[in-house]
Amino acid sequence: MRKAFITPSKYVQGEGELLNLGYFVKAFGDRALLVASTSGYARVRETIEKTADKFKVTFVTTDFCGECSKAEIARLRERAQENGCDCTVGLGGGKAIDTAKCVADGKPLIIVPTNAASDAPTSHLAVVYTDGGVFEEYVFFSKNPDVVLVDTDIIAKSPVRLLVSGMGDALATFFEARSCERSCADVFAGLPCGAGEALCPPAKSTRTAMALARLCYETLLSDGLRAKQACELNVVTPSLENIVEANSLLSGLGFENGGLSAAHSIHDGLTAVPEPHAHYHGEKVAFGTICQLILENAPKEELDTVIRFCLEVGLPVCLEDIGIKELSAEKLSEIAAIACAQGSNIHNMPFPVQPDSVAACILAADKTGRTYKACK
């Protein structure tokens, strides 16, 4: 059996780490394209100037428009070429990070997340949108980022809701990897990119991937609430450090090497209705995880643990929590159909999944979540 495991070349996390950014840039040259929004750059400008001066490097700013679109990617690539940049630095949230990946396109890349809301920093894929923000395609690269640099001081000062949303995304990691392992599904780590892709067979997950996915889940349960409390105080504690690692590194390695399944597919289905659009990715994935557990008839104790964790840290457990107060039969059917579309990750579950089953588990998850909330 062919198996695969991929990672960034280096992951560094700690207080004040942004001051060392110039050191990592220096490994590739002395000029870096800085993909960051005007407001994102302003937030850390003083530190960027200090690290540039200390390590004698130059950051070429970009005034990133906020959308990972083909037009913006082309504009920034041209800026990098005009300024003779030796590497690309993606600083900010998910879209700045993904844009930097696209601009670099396999060339030297440093990722500096300013929140722990997703597992995008470590991965070798990006999501591209139109200029108007409509999903267009997934793009895969020949390798993961060269460096992922996480400054926990910056994370501690980011909005608490972003940290909690990251926990929601990370919550699905173990359960989706487990279902992929049971079904012997292909994983992202085996996806071929670039030359020779037609000749490259897919790959399955490793035991290492499952161990990391399980550690991700265990870390959420042990440190989630205390990390949230630390973020509310804008302070770095061991629990916050552990959750930043779980949200960013463990979840990132877990989803690429362990695989995705029903939780993320149900999230995709929820995009069919407008109400959840105001909610973060991880918030919707958390509800999708509850749906997945009901779909696979997980043990009551496991479902109880997951729902109680969500209530403890403030993640959604029912449709109303993601803005859906009423759901017509037609909309429910549409959500389920999208979740079960051809090529959807839901087909990595270890049994056939049909739209009717998804619709039923969404309704059951909603009722279960509302019941737990009423008893809280």
Catalytic residue among 86, 264, 321, 366: 264
Residue 95 assigned to a binding site:
yes
Q: Is 304 annotated as a binding residue?
A: no
Neighbours of 332 (CB within 10 A): 21
94 annotated among ligand-binding-site residues: yes
Cβ–Cβ under 8 Å, residues 48 and 40: no
Structure token pair of residue 314 = 């403030």
Tell whether residue 97 is among the known ligand binding residues: yes
Q: Is 367 one of the annotated binding-site residues?
A: no
| Both tokens assigned to 9 | 């070349």
Which of 146, 151, 169, 268 is catalytic? The answer is 169
- 294 labelled binding-site residue: no
Q: Is 281 marked as binding a ligand?
A: yes
Catalytic residue among 146, 268, 281, 366: 281
217 is in an annotated binding site: no
Q: Is 124 a catalytic residue?
A: no
Catalytic status, residue 264: yes
279 is in an annotated binding site: no
Q: Which of 267, 268, 279, 321 is catalytic?
A: 267
Residue 277 annotated as binding site:
no
- Residue 268 annotated as binding site: no
Report the distance separating Cα 100 and Cα 128, nearest Å. Answer: 11
Side-chain half-sphere exposure of 271, counting CA atoms within 13 A: 11
Instruction: Please check if 119 is assigned to a binding site.
Output: yes
Do residues 346 and 265 lie in contact, with contact meaning Cβ atoms separated by under 8 Å?
yes
Show the tokens assigned to 318. Answer: 């029912």
Q: Give the residue ranges of the annotated binding site for glycerol.
A: 119, 169, 264, 281
Q: Give the residue ranges of the annotated binding site.
A: 94-98, 119, 123, 125, 129, 169, 264, 281
Q: Give the residue ranges of the annotated binding site for NAD(+).
A: 94-98, 123, 125, 129
- Residues annotated as part of the active site: 169, 264, 267, 281
